[in-house]
Amino acid sequence: MQYREFGKTGVKVSALGFGCMRFPVLENGEINEEEAVKQLRYAIDKGINYLDTAYVYHGGKSEGLLAKALKDGYREKVYIADKNPVWLVNKYEDFEKYLDEQLARLETDHIDFYLLHALDKNRWNKIKELGAREFLDKALKNGKIKHAGFSFHDDVAAFKQIVDDYDWDFCQIQYNYMDEYNQAGTEGLEYAASKGLAVIIMEPLLGGKLAKTPPKVVQEIWDKAEIKRTPAEWALRWLWNRPEISLVLSGMNSMEMVEENMRTAETALPAAMTAEELALVGEVRDQYKRLTRVNCTACRYCMPCPFGVDIPGNFATYNEAAIYDNWDNCSKYYNGRKETEKASACAECGKCEKVCPQHLSIRAYLKELHRELGRA
């Protein structure tokens, strides 16, 4: 396993981190605990030392699963990253309430890397007034957390403001070859690194979309490469090529995925990609942008919809139809769904758009996809 410096902390972390947002699940939607624990322990045994969870992942059950996986001496082998659900914080005491609850769920006396979750400009300004910085100072002093950071979804101006507003150790941003100029983007990545912050990457495969079997026009581009790689390996290597990146998170939910990503992490060194390889990635990016209808990452922050609409599921179907020219099958699937799950059930309340990290015009996209897929 390759290890990298974690900003100014003096800590070294595995280049690949295990994201605990997308564990394998059973038919009833519950975490497949046996398989998830098996995957986590395998990854740790092979060198992964950074595990990332959050208060809300898997409906609040991710932290408890992680606690089970880290028994039998595994806790001492890893760093735990966890996130405070700041949108639920309405007074200073709430910060401490959620932290204490997370420590109990994790069955540990400290969290190594603690983040304020999903900050944007408005959310940061609100919790700053509620004492977020004082809370972090206190938690660091009493040892409940070892390092303070934040995850982020907004524009680069807001990102720089937040970076400058506290003595952070690290940050977590959405970044991949499709998101160079979205949210914090490359400019934010370089800015944070210049300030000594470790930079963690989330959504490296854009919710798994960059790992799927590509459409023919994209595969033809990859086929031009001298060294043949899977789509996931191309996307991860592109990230690890940047020395500013301390760690890339992957929400792995199969042993095959764990093994493939770990193999890539061993050899994907900074500045290792050739100019020709980088140009190929650029060609693929341009082609995907021409094909994709909705840039949804299936993070599910928009769910549950008050009216039952399966927002990410509908968007996934719409994108699959457009990217893979699979309109007939996708239309049949869409029209066979429950009426409450379809885009046509949207009552336009706008609740989903207020929490969407991508700031998508969800209501407009739902209307558009229903026009395209709802045709008999």
Report the C-alpha gap between 114 and 360 in whole angstroms: 28
267 and 341 together in one domain: no
**End-of-domain residue from the set 273, 295, 319:** 273
Closest residue by Cα to residue 357 from 83, 156, 155:
155
Closest residue by Cα to residue 8 from 353, 246, 230:
246
| Domain count along the chain | 2
217 and 319 together in one domain: no
Find how far residue 369's CA is from the centre of its chain: 25
Report the C-alpha gap between 195 and 52 in whole angstroms: 23
The yes-or-no verdict on residue 375 having pLDDT over 80 is no
Closest residue by Cα to residue 307 from 366, 221, 223:
366
264 and 318 together in one domain: no
pLDDT in tens, 158-196: 999 999 999 999 999 999 998 998 899 999 999 999 999
Residue 170 lies inside a defined structural domain of this protein: yes
User: What pLDDT, on the 0 to 100 scale, is given for residue 209?
Assistant: 82
Mean pLDDT (the chain, rounded): 95
39 and 162 together in one domain: yes
Residue 362 lies inside a defined structural domain of this protein: yes
161 and 213 together in one domain: yes
326 and 267 together in one domain: no
Report the C-alpha gap between 319 and 77 in whole angstroms: 40
261 and 320 together in one domain: no
- pTM of the predicted model, to two decimals? 0.83
106 and 158 together in one domain: yes
358 and 253 together in one domain: no
Q: How confident is the model at residue 229 (pLDDT cuts 50, 70, 90)?
A: very high
* Domain CATH code at residue 268: 3.20.20.100
pLDDT in tens, 306-356: 999 999 999 999 988 998 778 999 999 999 999 999 999 999 999 999 999
Question: Which range of residues forms the domain containing residue 239?
Answer: 3-273
User: What pLDDT, on the 0 to 100 scale, is given for residue 180?
Assistant: 93
Residue 303 lies inside a defined structural domain of this protein: no
**End-of-domain residue from the set 273, 302, 329:** 273
Let me know: does 177 contact 285? Beta carbons within 8 Å: yes
304 preceded by cis ω (within 30°)?
yes
pLDDT in tens, 86-103: 999 999 999 999 999 999
Q: Residue 23 has which token pair?
A: 């564990």
What mean pLDDT comes out for the span 12-19?
Answer: 97
Residue 304 lies inside a defined structural domain of this protein: no
Let me know: does 298 contact 282? Beta carbons within 8 Å: no
Residue 56 lies inside a defined structural domain of this protein: yes
The yes-or-no verdict on residue 200 having pLDDT over 70 is yes
The yes-or-no verdict on residue 376 having pLDDT over 70 is no
**Three-state DSSP state, 249:** strand
- Proportion of the chain in helix, strand, coil states, percent, rounded to 5: 50, 15, 40
225 and 348 together in one domain: no
What mean pLDDT comes out for the span 289-301?
Answer: 89
Closest residue by Cα to residue 14 from 266, 211, 257:
266
